[in-house]
Amino acid sequence: MPLSKPAERAIQTAERSLKALLEEAIRAGHYDEVVQLAEAARVLASLVSKGQVELTCASDIAGTQNGGEPVIQPPRRARRSAYPRFEILGDRLVKTGWSKRAKAEYQHKATREGALHTFRALATSADRPFRMDDFLPVQLEDGSELPTYQSYLVLAWLRDLGYIVKKGKDTYQWTDVEPDDSAFSMAWERTHT
């Protein structure tokens, strides 16, 4: 169900407030706060762009009383809305997804080395749209090839973080992130927590 105009305005106001807080945290050098605020803004924008937000009053939520202030809640929909999820386990990037066919969770994993090589390969197109086929297979330092599904796992992770956006059927583009090794390290750490 589409959001009402007042709901859209409230969310836009929240986004502007988060942006102002982000700018203030950057100026003050509070980088841990920057990461948290950026994640909150990304989640808010993602929910809105997918139409997956419903506004309720906090007093309607069990155990919460704050005078009826609007609260953004994820929808009560099918399980798949909680997927994909990304986490770091040891030195591996793990994507947990939901298989519609098997009606069960599945996991794909990539090593940090594989993720970094994919990141670096994709970073060569930071200034233009790209297709994954242009980079596959990704070569590792020992000359072996990274399995294609692992490269796509990294792409999905970077899209989930908001580093890359889809621009067409098979075309992607970096956002205004500078895709260097420090951006990769930040993404890895951000996912780790």
Q: How many domains does the chain have?
A: 2
pLDDT for 72 equals 43
User: Region 132-139: what's the mean pLDDT?
Assistant: 93
pLDDT for 81 equals 64
Q: Do residues 93 and 124 both lie within one domain?
A: yes
Q: Do residues 60 and 116 both lie within one domain?
A: no
Cβ neighbours, 10 Å, residue 9: 11
Q: What is the pLDDT of residues 87-128, one digit of tens each?
A: 999 999 999 999 889 989 999 999 999 999 999 999 999 999
**Residue 155 near residue 118, CB atoms below 8 Å:** yes
Q: Do residues 45 and 92 both lie within one domain?
A: no
**Residue 105 near residue 96, CB atoms below 8 Å:** yes
User: Region 13-21: what's the mean pLDDT?
Assistant: 75
Q: What is the pLDDT of residues 48-101, one digit of tens each?
A: 555 544 443 333 333 344 444 444 444 444 444 688 999 999 999 999 999 889
Q: Do residues 22 and 113 both lie within one domain?
A: no
- Domain residue limits at 9: 5-77
Identify the sign of the CA torsion 76, 53, 71, 157: positive
The share of the chain scoring above pLDDT 70, in percent, equals 73
Q: Do residues 33 and 66 both lie within one domain?
A: yes
pLDDT for 37 equals 73
Q: Do residues 73 and 84 both lie within one domain?
A: no
